[in-house]
């Protein structure tokens, strides 16, 4: 009987191609998205192709392209399976990257087995939670994740036995390949120094992921090879077989065993790892595996001298790909793969937070709004910390198109009706009018709302309307303190103030100024300043900058118009161009800022004011209003703060700066470098993540 399998997984490091090759080696007829992906015919129709290209080119919308292509690819796969004889299986790896529709449609035709394997911690990619029940079987590699749901099954990674080389020539004592991650950067540097001192041979390959400046600042060691692109998986296997010892420095949040561990088993290599859980597995032997604590490097000397201990033959068989695929598809005879019991009290406590849903209320904004983007970034950080954070929008199917994100989106239109955010519909819309009041008065108990035990994170702009939220625990995310009293009466006493209500767990804000404001207004409220962070995409552009002055026209448009009209015909601005940044994607904004020499800030009563910070990160010289909160970053060493709403001083100072720039642009390039270094050091994702983590740990501790 023929065995057909649909393999759907990302192509990172070419692992998908090696798995496809291994499946064919073991007799499967393999169908992948790659079979059709580069063909225009993968789109359902020519019209769909045109629409996808239109959305991508003019709006930077890659999500629509992805969804349309998935629909077309799914049709092609279903058609091919229909014409193939034999048993149909499917294997998804990292199924969080694919739509529910694709998963469900493939599952309908793969009746012999529709399975998913997640070779990463569930909490790192929260979209996965909504996909677990779409499969016949769902396998995970981290033993701690088994506690999340009874639907989850244990599995491990594996090695490719068909890639074992006969008597490979040994060229290195140690072999390592990996990407930069802050949690292991210091350890890598120390290890490389120790190896160099011992004159050991090392092939140490590091990909500078998310490092936009000189990677040698992070990795100065000469024996660390900075690579420009990720080494293909197959080549990586070939290289590791030329080494005595493999190195496995895990990312701080990883707990399951990496591929490197099982490759060390299959290719009979010794291993140095920082993952202590490896000692709980049946292949562990101290001659073969050294668990490094990151401090005691002297243990390496003794470990290097120990001979390799030959393991029982069934261990090598158990962890090869042949056994792995038979186990996950439940075909033929196989050796079951299991995960050890791990008593991790801290992780067990985290199960509570991982099961509790968190919803961040957002508005359906098609135009770029900084506050909406920050709300998504906040949700991303929560998910990285292990929480289940989702963005809520009102209109079913609404999706942000102007920046990339990986946040799950849910739709609860009834919640927005309860909040009474929008003005009441006009009588001429009779159908909507009747439905609105029928829902509001008659069927309130039947509203489709988030789970009762969920936590809602709500924006400050709702003000007193936050009292409309019925019986939900909530956190107020106050990005602009000046909107705190929206919908409050001017003089009348407020009976129930949401900032000190028993269901309000805390209020979080983003700047020192906002925190001080709220602390003064609500001395008894639970407050946190979780700060804000820059996207790593905002970096210095190429030298020299162009004579362009960028600004955001939606900020104080009357002020920007006055500045432009006054300066338009001044002789010193003859070769200069004013660039309005309006309704642009994040990519377009970055491009403008990287080539602009100056940015005009029209901050006005801000809670933080992110655009000037983004401009500084791109090396712009910023001049303009601080809007109160901006005083924490508009420093006179590399910018020119202007008293708010003082047009005359604004134009005089801008003209003075342009005269100086015309005479000596190099000075402003250096100030741009200073400004960029300052904001990129102060407003890091790591700092924001640390503050959010501390705040939520305190909140959950008090809840429990």
Beta bridge partners of 89: 5, 113
Burial class (CB in 10 A: 0-12, 13-18, 19+), 275: buried
Domains of the chain: 3-154 (3.40.50), 166-319 (3.40.50.2000), 352-412+450-529 (3.40.50), 546-683 (3.40.50.2000)
Tell me: pLDDT of 41 over 90: no
**CA gap 645, 359 in Å, rounded:** 37
One-letter-per-residue 3-state SS of 484-523 = CCCCCCCCCCCCCCHHHCCCEEEEEECCHHHHHHHHHHCC
pLDDT score for 619 = 96
What is the dihedral angle through the alpha carbons of 178, 179, 182, 184, rounded to the nearest 10 degrees?
A: 0
What confidence tens digit (pLDDT) does each residue in 67-121 have? 777 777 787 888 888 777 889 999 999 999 888 888 999 999 999 999 999 988 8
Tell me: pLDDT of 642 over 90: yes
What confidence tens digit (pLDDT) does each residue in 686-699 have? 999 999 999 998 99
**CA gap 585, 60 in Å, rounded:** 7
Picking from 163-172, 248-257, 472-481, 496-505, which range would have the lowest pLDDT averaged per residue?
248-257
**CA gap 54, 67 in Å, rounded:** 14
Q: Is 212 within 8 Å of 178 (Cβ atoms)? A: no
**CA gap 2, 51 in Å, rounded:** 39
Q: Is 601 within 8 Å of 614 (Cβ atoms)? A: no
Picking from 161-165, 365-369, 534-538, which range would have the lowest pLDDT averaged per residue?
365-369
What confidence tens digit (pLDDT) does each residue in 294-312 have? 888 989 999 999 999 999 9
Tell me: pLDDT of 441 over 60: no
What confidence tens digit (pLDDT) does each residue in 82-92 have? 777 889 999 99
pLDDT score for 678 = 95
pLDDT score for 60 = 58
Tell me: pLDDT of 249 over 50: yes
pLDDT score for 448 = 77
DSSP letter assigned to residue 274: S
Q: Give me the phi and psi of 259, to 5 degrees please.
A: -60, -35
Q: Is 311 within 8 Å of 283 (Cβ atoms)? A: yes
What confidence tens digit (pLDDT) does each residue in 252-267 have? 666 789 999 999 999 9
Among the listed residues 372, 411, 407, 373, the one whose alpha carbon sits nearest the alpha carbon of residue 392: 411
pLDDT score for 425 = 43
Question: Can you tell me whether residue 608 is helix, strand or coil?
Answer: coil
Tell me: pLDDT of 589 over 80: yes
How confident is the model over 375-389, as a mean pLDDT?
Answer: 89
**CA gap 666, 672 in Å, rounded:** 10
**CA gap 173, 644 in Å, rounded:** 63
- Determine what percent of the chain is predicted with pLDDT higher than 90: 61
Strands 224-226 and 137-140: unpaired
Q: Which residues of 627-644 are buried (b: 16+ CB within 10 A; e: fewer)?
A: bbbbebbbeeebbbbbeb
How confident is the model over 617-639, as a mean pLDDT?
Answer: 94
pLDDT score for 371 = 87
Q: pLDDT averaged over the chain?
A: 88
Half-sphere exposure in the Cβ direction for 381 (13 Å, CA): 25
Q: Give me the phi and psi of 245, to 5 degrees please.
A: -130, 135
Q: Which two tokens stand for residue 540?
A: 């210095």
Q: Where are the beta strands (DSSP E) in 210-255?
A: 224-226, 243-248
Residue with token string 């590699």: 141
Residues in the chain: 704
Q: Which two tokens stand for residue 563?
A: 């500045």
Q: Which two tokens stand for residue 653?
A: 């100072």
How confident is the model over 492-497, as a mean pLDDT?
Answer: 89
Among the listed residues 17, 20, 40, the one whose alpha carbon sits nearest the alpha carbon of residue 30: 20
**CA gap 97, 352 in Å, rounded:** 25
According to DSSP H, which parts of 60-160 are helical?
62-83, 100-109
pLDDT score for 7 = 95
Picking from 66-70, 259-263, 370-374, 500-504, which range would have the lowest pLDDT averaged per residue?
66-70
Confidence of residue 201 (pLDDT cuts 50, 70, 90): very high
Q: Which two tokens stand for residue 182?
A: 């802050």
Half-sphere exposure in the Cβ direction for 572 (13 Å, CA): 15
pLDDT score for 426 = 44
Q: Is 70 within 8 Å of 99 (Cβ atoms)? A: yes
């Amino acid at each position: 009987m023929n065995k057909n399998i649909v393999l759907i997984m990302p192509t990172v490091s070419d692992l998908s191609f090696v798995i496809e090759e291994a499946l064919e080696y073991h007799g499967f007829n393999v169908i992948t998205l790659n079979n059709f992906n580069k063909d225009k015919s993968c789109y359902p129709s020519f019209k769909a192709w045109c629409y996808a290209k239109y959305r991508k080119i003019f709006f930077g919308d890659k999500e629509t392209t992805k969804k349309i292509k998935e629909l077309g690819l799914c049709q092609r796969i279903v058609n091919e399976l229909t014409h193939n004889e034999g048993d149909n299986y499917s294997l998804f790896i990292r199924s969080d990257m694919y739509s529910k529709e694709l998963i469900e449609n493939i599952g309908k035709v793969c009746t012999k087995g529709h399975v998913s394997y997640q070779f990463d911690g569930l909490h790192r990619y929260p979209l996965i939670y909504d996909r677990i029940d779409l499969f016949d079987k769902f396998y995970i590699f981290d033993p701690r994740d088994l506690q999340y749901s009874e639907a989850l099954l244990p599995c491990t990674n594996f090695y490719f036995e068909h890639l074992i080389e006969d008597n490979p020539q040994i060229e290195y004592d140690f072999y390592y390949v990996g990407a930069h991650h802050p949690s292991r950067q210091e350890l890598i540097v120390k290890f490389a120094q120790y190896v160099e001192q011992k004159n050991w041979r090392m092939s140490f390959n590091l990909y500078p992921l998310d490092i936009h400046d000189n990677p040698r600042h992070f990795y100065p060691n000469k024996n660390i090879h900075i690579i420009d692109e990720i080494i293909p998986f197959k080549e990586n296997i070939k290289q590791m077989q030329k080494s005595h010892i493999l190195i496995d420095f895990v990312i701080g949040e990883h707990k399951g065993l990496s591929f490197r561990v099982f490759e060390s088993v299959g290719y009979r290599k010794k291993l140095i790892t920082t993952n202590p859980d490896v000692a709980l597995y049946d292949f562990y032997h101290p001659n073969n595996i050294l668990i490094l604590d990151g401090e005691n490097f002297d243990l390496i000397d003794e470990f290097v001298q120990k001979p390799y201990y030959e393991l029982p033959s069934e261990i090598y068989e158990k962890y090869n790909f042949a056994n792995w695929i038979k186990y996950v598809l439940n075909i033929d005879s196989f050796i079951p793969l299991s995960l050890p019991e791990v008593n991790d009290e801290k992780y067990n406590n985290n199960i509570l937070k991982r099961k509790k849903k968190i919803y961040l209320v957002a508005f359906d904004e098609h135009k770029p709004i900084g506050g909406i983007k920050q709300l998504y970034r906040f949700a991303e950080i929560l998910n990285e910390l292990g929480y289940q954070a989702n963005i809520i929008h009102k209109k079913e199917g609404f999706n942000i198109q102007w920046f990339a994100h990986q946040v799950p989106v849910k739709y609860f239109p009834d919640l927005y009706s309860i909040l009474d955010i929008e003005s009441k519909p006009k009588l001429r819309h009779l159908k909507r009018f009747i439905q609105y009041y029928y829902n509001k008065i008659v069927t309130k108990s039947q509203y489709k709302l988030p789970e009762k035990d969920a936590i809602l994170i709500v924006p400050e702009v709702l003000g007193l309307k936050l009292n409309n939220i019925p019986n939900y625990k909530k956190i107020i995310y106050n990005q602009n303190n000046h909107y705190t009293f929206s919908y409050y009466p001017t003089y009348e006493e407020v009976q129930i103030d949401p900032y000190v209500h028993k269901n309000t767990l805390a209020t979080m804000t983003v700047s020192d100024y906002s925190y001080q404001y709220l602390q003064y207004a609500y001395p008894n409220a639970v407050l946190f300043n979780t700060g804000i962070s820059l996207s790593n995409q905002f970096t210095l552009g190429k030298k020299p900058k162009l004579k362009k002055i960028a600004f955001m026209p939606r900020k104080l448009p009357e002020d920007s118009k006055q500045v432009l009209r006054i300066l338009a015909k001044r002789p010193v601005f003859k070769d200069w161009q004013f660039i309005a940044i309006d309704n642009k994607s994040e990519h377009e904004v970055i491009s403008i800022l990287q080539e602009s020499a100056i940015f005009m800030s029209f901050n006005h009563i801000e809670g933080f004011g992110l655009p000037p910070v983004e401009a500084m990160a791109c090396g712009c010289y910023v001049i303009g209003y601080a809007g109160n909160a901006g005083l924490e970053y508009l420093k006179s060493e590399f910018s020119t703060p202007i008293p708010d709403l003082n047009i005359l001083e604004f134009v005089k100072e801008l003209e003075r700066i342009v005269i100086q720039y015309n005479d000596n642009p190099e000075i402003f390039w250096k100030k741009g470098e200073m400004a960029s270094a300052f904001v990129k050091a102060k407003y890091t994702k790591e700092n924001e993540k640390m503050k959010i983590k501390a705040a939520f740990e305190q909140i959950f501790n008090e809840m429990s």
